[in-house]
């Protein structure tokens, strides 16, 4: 597939996802406790459950999930710039953290949640408002009863690498209230 074709495909897929998503929010505690991570993330992707407010704030969309894998897409804008005139590193870190945590979440049974214990980001090149759409693709390395580990990369439609990361997440029981 030509570079322009793939970029347009990504933009079209993002527009379709944006149209499908519910308003941002957080699922109720009963849903969080009774659904597996895959069920929750599939519910977000189908529009049945709300996407996280942080993803909406940053313009990051859930594109696909499967067991051990999560893909999110965003398009860097001037609103994401730091004082040096390039996209702030926190944009990539947030996108990576989101994808990494969700990849781990796909492997968790009902009643289990996660939180980031450690996030290591390596920045390869700067993003600007001309970069176009980028995707963070995260894959699980290992998930146990208490800890999950995953790795992710941010690339553009041409396959150019912008950043990569690893995470360690704490796995915990979701409380009733």
* Spatial contact of 110 and 150, defined as CB atoms under 8 Å apart: no
**pLDDT value of position 4:** 80
Q: Does residue 1 have a pLDDT over 70? A: no
Average pLDDT, integer, range 135-159: 98
CATH number at residue 108: 3.10.129.10
Q: Mean per-residue pLDDT for 150-172?
A: 99
> Given pLDDT bands bounded at 50, 70 and 90, which one contains residue 132?
very high
Residues whose CB is less than 8 angstroms from the CB of residue 58 and which lie 6 or more positions away in sequence, other chains included: 74, 80, 91, 94, 95
Query: Are 70 and 62 within 8 A, CB to CB?
Result: yes
Write phi, then psi, for 141 (nearest 5 degrees): -95, -45
The string of pLDDT tens digits covering residues 112-125 is 999 999 999 999 99
- Mean pLDDT over residues 44-72, rounded? 98
Model confidence over 11-27: pLDDT tens digits? 999 999 999 999 999 99
Collapsing DSSP to helix, strand or coil, 3 comes out as: helix
- Structure-token match 């941010």, residue found: 154
In degrees and rounded to multiples of 5, residue 138 shows phi and psi of -115, 140
Residue 74: name the closest of 82, 84, 90, 118 by CA: 90
Domain that holds residue 110: 3-173
pLDDT on residue 2: 76
Number of domain units in the chain: 1
- Tell me the HSE value of 27 on the side-chain side, using a 13 A CA sphere: 21
Residue pLDDT, tens place only, 82-111 = 999 999 999 999 999 999 999 999 999 999
Radius of gyration from C-alpha coordinates of the chain = 16
| CA-to-CA dists, residue 140 to 30, 87, 90, 119, 162, angstroms | 26, 27, 22, 14, 20
Q: Whole-prediction pTM value?
A: 0.96
């Amino acid at each position: 597939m030509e570079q322009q074709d793939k970029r347009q495909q990504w933009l079209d897929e993002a527009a379709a996802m944006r149209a499908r998503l519910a308003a941002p929010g957080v699922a109720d505690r009963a849903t969080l406790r009774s659904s597996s991570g895959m069920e929750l993330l599939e519910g977000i992707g189908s529009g049945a459950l709300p996407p996280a407010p942080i993803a909406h704030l940053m313009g990051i969309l859930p594109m696909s999930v499967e067991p051990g894998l999560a893909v999110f897409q965003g398009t860097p804008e001037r609103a994401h710039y730091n004082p040096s005139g390039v996209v702030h590193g926190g944009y990539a870190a947030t996108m990576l953290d989101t994808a990494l945590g969700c990849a781990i979440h796909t492997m968790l049974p009902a009643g289990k949640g996660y939180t980031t214990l450690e996030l290591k980001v390596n920045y390869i090149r700067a993003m600007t408002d001309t970069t176009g759409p980028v995707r963070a693709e995260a894959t699980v390395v290992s998930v146990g009863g208490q800890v999950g580990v995953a790795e992710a990369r941010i690339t553009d439609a041409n396959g150019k690498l912008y950043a990569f990361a690893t995470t360690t997440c704490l796995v915990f029981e979701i409380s009733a209230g």
